[in-house]
């Protein structure tokens, strides 16, 4: 096994044991999600999604997602959850995916659990605008898309192997195919990493950190260009 592959394997091993090692942090994420959105999880609200599914059928709704470029939602609606107008399940999938995406990003940032992560996670999960997303039956697809974007961000920054660009591009492309705005997830996550990395750095350390961040950002942009190419190719191929 090559050195980059061994490095990625070690990072993946650490990533897989992270929820167990920091079970308190993961429990906090889940509890915060339950406290904030428990009423959505155990109630059933009708939205425009339910109305459209009733009028056009589940296949017609899936085709509607495909027409507007959300081909990953189309594939989920067609082959995974063909009838999403049910209570509990879509919201539960969204919350689990969102929590998984958050601790994936936190692990990528530092690989450890700190009080700052507690505060950041509570704010991220309880952000008020998410309640509007949860009111739609297809919210589970957006949650999965968020997790894929976070996983792509993790792979992008976890190894020097050139393969990371391919893997990240595919994950980012599927994420964009779920909800186009999720393109911003890896970009925002990287800028937060950059700001926390250079805060307090001086002299040679600042130059070294800045150089490394610029190199990583260039790699991220390359993966995002590949993701957009993959996204449009798949979209046009499914139309």
Query: In 10 A of CB 109, how many CB atoms?
Result: 21
Per-residue pLDDT, 87: 73
Domains in the chain: boundaries? 3-238
Per-residue pLDDT, 116: 75
Q: 115: which 2 tokens?
A: 């009080």
Q: Tokens 């929820």 correspond to what residue?
A: 19
What contacts 100, CB < 8 A, 6 or more positions away? Answer: 147, 150
Per-residue pLDDT, 1: 45
Angle at 195 between CA 100 and CA 28, to 5 degrees: 30
Q: Tokens 């592959």 correspond to what residue?
A: 5
* Spatial separation of the C-alpha atoms in residues 122 and 124, rounded to whole Å: 6
What contacts 148, CB < 8 A, 6 or more positions away? Answer: 171, 172, 174, 175, 178
* Spatial separation of the C-alpha atoms in residues 105 and 110, rounded to whole Å: 9
What are residue 233's phi and psi, to 5 degrees? -65, -45
Q: Quick one: which H or E segment has residue 71?
A: helix 71-75
Per-residue pLDDT, 184: 92
The secondary structure of residue 180, as a DSSP letter, is G
- Look at residues 185, 156, 182, 181 and name the one whose alpha carbon lies nearest to residue 168: 156
Per-residue pLDDT, 99: 86
pLDDT per residue of the chain (239 residues) written in tens, 0 to 9: 444 445 555 555 555 666 667 777 788 888 888 888 877 777 776 766 666 666 665 667 778 888 889 999 889 888 887 666 677 788 888 888 988 888 888 888 876 667 777 777 778 777 777 766 666 656 788 889 999 999 999 999 877 777 888 999 999 999 999 989 999 999 999 998 888 888 767 667 778 888 888 999 999 999 999 999 999 999 999 87
Please report how the helices 139-156 and 163-178 are oriented relative to each other, as an axis angle in degrees rounded to 10.
160
Q: 159: which 2 tokens?
A: 């190894």
Q: 60: which 2 tokens?
A: 């017609």
* Spatial separation of the C-alpha atoms in residues 176 and 154, rounded to whole Å: 16
């Amino acid at each position: 096994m090559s050195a980059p592959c061994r490095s990625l394997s070690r990072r993946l091993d650490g990533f897989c044991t992270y929820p167990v090692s920091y079970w308190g942090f993961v429990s906090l994420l889940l509890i915060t999600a339950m406290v904030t959105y428990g009423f959505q999880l155990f109630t059933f609200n009708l939205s425009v999604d339910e109305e459209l599914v009733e009028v056009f059928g589940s296949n017609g709704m899936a085709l509607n997602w495909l027409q507007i470029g959300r081909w990953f939602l189309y594939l989920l609606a067609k082959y995974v959850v063909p009838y999403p107008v049910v209570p509990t399940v879509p919201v539960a999938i969204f919350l689990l995916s969102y929590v998984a995406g958050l601790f994936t990003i936190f692990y990528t940032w530092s690989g450890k659990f700190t009080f700052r992560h507690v505060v950041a996670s509570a704010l991220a999960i309880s952000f008020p605008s998410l309640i509007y997303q949860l009111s739609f039956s297809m919210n589970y697809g957006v949650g999965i898309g968020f997790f894929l974007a976070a996983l792509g961000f993790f792979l992008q920054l976890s190894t020097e192997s050139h393969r990371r660009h391919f893997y990240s591009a595919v994950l980012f492309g599927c994420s964009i195919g779920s909800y186009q705005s999720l393109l911003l997830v890896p970009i925002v996550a990287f800028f937060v990493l950059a700001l926390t990395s250079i805060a307090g750095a001086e002299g040679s350390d600042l130059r070294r950190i800045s150089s490394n961040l610029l190199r990583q950002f260039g790699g991220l942009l390359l993966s995002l260009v590949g993701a957009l190419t993959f996204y449009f190719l798949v979209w046009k191929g499914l139309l």
